[in-house]
């Protein structure tokens, strides 16, 4: 009896043993076999040791991986990816977004040519907006950006000004600017790092005083030389752009700022590529402060699975105000007005809303967000609860 048990136990170990699984997986996976001629082959595949990554029987992970992608890759590639500004696929553990785990004709097992990989996620039309290209672009995105993460915003490996000065001589810059252009000046407030329609990669739209060379409107001048700024706070901007109602509103964006002038958190005082004088696409500006919202939108959690299309496009200002308001959620108007602005059919045909329908859970008038969460929800149609099962019974008791 004891001998039989020992034999059975040994057989069990043998069957489970990865050693036994060094069989020719490529017999059934010819698509992987084809990749062997790609040029760069991942070591485990070279050694035909598929079980380094895959379980040949069963797994909770897709593609029968033995572990989640991130943990699996890091078990061998023990690089530290702890940058201050990590690349999103790295934080999400999606190494396979850029890298082919089997083989590739490209270095570092990239799935495609470097620039094609980047433009797979980063909209080319947002970056290449004109015929004039910054020469480093021809060398590839990694001439300035770090693929896994950088110590500076936008995944830069060096501070922006030092990066620029790496190629552009100080003397060349001082000569062509009327300002102390080196010390603390952000080159990118006037120049695009990628492309432009204008010479010297200047951004397209100009702040009026800048366009009319009326530097003295904002700056302290000594002759023709700029010595400083008249006022460091928002008072400077509000002189020409008064926003009387913004401070007298419940919610206001023109107050708190990590910097000294809140207006400059979003707007460029010189040149910009986006009207009205925005420094960057809206979503990037919003996410600078609303980090928790960004985290939620980028989350893979089933709680936020279904998102409104405008949210997916990160078009925050379709629903939310930019400067100030009195509506909850910083909406441009009351919820029903905002939603039915696009969902016109539901203005006429919908579950009772408003005064006719009081939410029994909170005794408040129902509106669209009583059931829907456009920022992300579990249920289809952005319903907070599954509309097939749980949504209605939140309020309607079932009579038995």
Partner 1 sequence: MKKICFAFSFLLSAFSFYFCGHAHAYLKGELLTVIYGEEETSGPFNQPRSIYIDQSKGKIYVIDTLNNRLVSYDKNYKFISRFDAEGRLDLPVSMLKDKKGHLIVTNRGEESVLVIHLKEKIIEPLDFSKVFPKPVPSYLAMDENGRLYVIDKAYKRILIFSDDYEFLGEIKEPRAAGFSDVKWSGNCLYVLDTLLKKVFIYNNQGNLIRSLEFKSLGFPVSLAVDKRGFIYILDAHEGKVYLFKDNEIIGEIGKKGWKEGKLYYPGYISIDNKNTLYVVDTGNNRIEVFKIK
Name the site residues for partner 1 (rule: CB under 8 A): 233-235, 247-250, 252, 254-258, 260, 289-290, 292-293, 326, 328-329, 359, 361-364, 370, 394
How far, in whole angstroms, is CA 373 from its chain's centroid? 20
Nearer CB in complex with partner 1: 73/254 = 254
Closest distance between partner 1 and the C-beta of residue 354, in Å? Answer: 12
Q: Which residues contact 101 (CB under 8 A, 6 or more apart)?
A: 42, 53, 95, 109
State whether the Cα torsion 166-171-176-178 is positive or negative.
Answer: positive
Closest distance between partner 1 and the C-beta of residue 2, in Å? Answer: 22
Nearer CB in complex with partner 1: 214/255 = 255
Closest distance between partner 1 and the C-beta of residue 371, in Å? Answer: 11
The answer to whether 73 touches 49, Cβ cutoff 8 Å, is no
Nearer CB in complex with partner 1: 55/249 = 249
Nearer CB in complex with partner 1: 143/257 = 257
Nearer CB in complex with partner 1: 355/399 = 355
Distance CA 163, CA 140 (A): 15
Exposed (0-12), middle (13-18) or buried (19+): which is 28, by Cβ within 10 Å? exposed
Closest distance between partner 1 and the C-beta of residue 293, in Å? Answer: 7
Q: How many residues would you count in the chain?
A: 400
How far, in whole angstroms, is CA 313 from its chain's centroid? 11
Indicate the pairing of strand 271-272 with strand 205-206.
Answer: antiparallel
The answer to whether 302 touches 269, Cβ cutoff 8 Å, is no
Closest distance between partner 1 and the C-beta of residue 296, in Å? Answer: 8
Tokens representing residue 75 in the block? 């078990």
Closest distance between partner 1 and the C-beta of residue 68, in Å? Answer: 22
Nearer CB in complex with partner 1: 189/257 = 257
Closest distance between partner 1 and the C-beta of residue 218, in Å? Answer: 17
Nearer CB in complex with partner 1: 16/260 = 260
The answer to whether 368 touches 339, Cβ cutoff 8 Å, is yes
Q: What is the CA radius of gyration of the chain?
A: 28
Tokens representing residue 52 in the block? 């380094």
Closest distance between partner 1 and the C-beta of residue 255, in Å? Answer: 4
Concatenating the DSSP letter of every residue in 171-188 gives: HHHHHH-SS--SSS--GG
Exposed (0-12), middle (13-18) or buried (19+): which is 399, by Cβ within 10 Å? exposed
Nearer CB in complex with partner 1: 102/279 = 279
Name the 3-class secondary structure at 17. Answer: coil
């Amino acid at each position: 009896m004891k001998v039989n048990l020992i034999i059975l136990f040994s057989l069990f170990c043998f069957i489970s043993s990865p050693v036994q699984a060094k069989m020719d997986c490529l017999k059934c996976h010819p698509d992987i076999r084809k990749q062997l001629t790609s040029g760069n082959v991942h070591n485990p595949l070279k050694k035909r040791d598929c079980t380094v990554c895959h379980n040949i029987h069963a797994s909770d992970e897709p593609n029968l991986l033995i572990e989640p992608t991130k943990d699996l890759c890091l078990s061998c590639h023990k690089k530290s990816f702890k940058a201050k500004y990590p690349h999103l696929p790295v934080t999400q553990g999606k190494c396979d977004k850029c890298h082919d785990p089997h083989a590739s004709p490209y270095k570092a097992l990239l799935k495609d040519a470097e620039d094609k990989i980047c433009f797979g996620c980063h909209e080319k039309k947002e970056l290449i907006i004109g015929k004039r290209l910054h020469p480093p672009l021809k060398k590839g995105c990694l001439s300035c950006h770090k693929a896994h993460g950088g110590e500076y915003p936008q995944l830069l490996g060096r501070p922006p000004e030092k990066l620029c000065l790496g190629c552009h001589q100080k003397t060349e810059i001082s000569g062509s600017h009327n300002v102390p252009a080196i010390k603390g000046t952000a080159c990118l407030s006037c120049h695009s790092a990628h492309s432009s329609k204008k010479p010297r990669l200047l951004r397209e739209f100009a702040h009026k005083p800048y366009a009319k060379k009326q530097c003295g409107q904002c700056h302290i001048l000594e002759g023709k030389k700029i010595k400083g700024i008249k006022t460091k706070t928002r008072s400077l901007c509000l002189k020409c752009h008064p926003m009387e109602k913004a401070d007298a509103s419940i919610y206001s964006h023109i107050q708190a700022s990590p910097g000294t002038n809140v207006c400059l958190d979003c707007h460029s005082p010189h040149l910009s590529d986006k009207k009205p004088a925005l420094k960057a696409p809206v979503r990037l500006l919003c996410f600078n402060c609303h980090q928790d919202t960004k985290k939620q939108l980028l989350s893979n959690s089933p709680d936020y699975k279904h998102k409104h299309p405008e949210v997916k496009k990160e078009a925050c200002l379709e629903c939310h105000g930019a400067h100030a308001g009195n509506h909850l959620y910083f909406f441009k108007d009351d919820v029903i007005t905002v939603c039915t602005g696009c969902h016109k059919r539901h203005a006429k045909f919908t579950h009772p809303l408003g005064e006719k329908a009081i939410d029994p859970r909170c005794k408040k008038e129902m509106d669209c967000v009583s059931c829907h969460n456009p920022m992300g929800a579990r249920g289809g149609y952005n319903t907070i609860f599954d509309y097939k099962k749980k949504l209605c019974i939140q309020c309607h008791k079932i009579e038995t």
